[in-house]
Amino acid sequence: MDYKLLAILLAVASSFFILLSLAFVLFVCRRRHAIENHSRRDQNHHQAPNFPDPSSTPSLSSVTESESTKQSFDPSICEISMAELSVATNGFSSDLIVGDGSFGLVYRAELSNGVVVAVKKLNHDALQGLREFSAEMETLGRLRHPNIVRILGYCISGPDRVLIYEFLEKGSLDYWLHENTALPCPLSWSTRMRIAYGVAKGLAYLHGLPKPIIHRDIKSSNVLLDSQFVAHIADFGLARRIDTSRSHVSTQVAGTMGYMPPEYWEGNTAATVKTDVYSFGVLMLEMATKRRPNWPVVVDGKEVGLAQWAVILEGQNRYYEMVESSFVGETGLEEYFTIACLCIKEATKERPTMNQVVKLFEEVLSTDR
């Protein structure tokens, strides 16, 4: 027997066995990693929203009450102090966080008189000048409309600024559309129509003020619902008053991906009331489809956004393919999509005003009675 040949064969066989073993170990490790990731995703899906750790945000400064500024726009929180707000939120405990609005976390707080409010502690890096902030709060705090979240007051203590809002029991529209999995269809079609109508009326009010206000960040998480599911527009962190002599324009870019109008991507970054109209149209589509606006949709092998998808299907009279199956045949469905597609017109001049949108809704709702 050729021992030299046998040695070579044994060496080759050993190498092959070692490589096979390494490949098997690698496969097992990757498989285990994939299972762990899948399990982690499933677990996170059923957990509450992962809000930022409040400990990572600046704590309240040690400033005496005599050095603080406080303003109330509602008798229910007369003379509210920063010290009481700290007590009411248990030192701004993470257990009481109910939202993550623009520029700060939002807490549920029960005041000493038993009134429950929402408290937003503004981030230090998102603050404007004291005089500008106070002037803006004086204006926004006096807004009163059934579809606008009321600002009840504010406190300033050194660099710390806290806003106090009315508390809405049902939370955000975003939660009811995307996170409430207890019911297959938690919001009926008629409820969604009423919510959209309420948001339209709130925006029409803001745009119709002597100095119109552009919200600039209309989205489902900025629509809060009360115990009767009435819509209230919230989070004026990006809102700006505008000079009517300047054609309803605010030059600062703001908004959320998926809701921002196409003119932003074309270099026209000046926000107008028609910016809010576009975002509202996207919100309408989100409510009807339960799809987040930044989720791509594949059409003819190409990815498009929610708004582009709606334009394609509405043009082919196939809008019903977008909605939840249980809503097909509902009263006002076609008119609803017509309104939404008018709002998301690419050319700003072709979009209706919010007053016109309100009238269109009233026509649809009057035939549903």
- Whether residue 121 is annotated as binding a ligand: the answer is yes
Does residue 255 carry a pLDDT above 60? yes
Average pLDDT, the chain: 79
Query: Please, which pLDDT band fits residue 77 given cuts at 50, 70 and 90?
Result: confident
Does residue 98 carry a pLDDT above 60? yes
Query: Please, which pLDDT band fits residue 28 given cuts at 50, 70 and 90?
Result: very low
For the chain, the structural domain boundaries read 64-166, 171-367
CATH classification for the domain delimited by 64-166, as one of 1.20.1530.20, 3.50.50.60, 3.40.50.10740, 3.30.200.20: 3.30.200.20
Q: What sections of the chain are H helices per DSSP?
A: 3-45, 82-88, 130-140, 173-174, 189-207, 262-265, 273-289, 306-315, 333-343, 354-367
Eight-class DSSP state of 89: T
- Which of these is catalytic: 160, 217, 235, 276? 217
The pLDDT value given to residue 158: 79
This prediction has a pTM of 0.77
> What would the mean pLDDT of 249-259 be, rounded to a whole number?
67
Does residue 336 carry a pLDDT above 50? yes
Query: Please, which pLDDT band fits residue 355 given cuts at 50, 70 and 90?
Result: very high
Does residue 139 carry a pLDDT above 90? no
Q: Is 217 in the active site?
A: yes
Q: Are the C-beta atoms of residues 198 and 257 closer than 8 Å to each other?
A: no
In the CATH scheme, what is the homologous superfamily, with its name and number, of domain 171-367?
Answer: Transferase(Phosphotransferase) domain 1 (1.10.510.10)
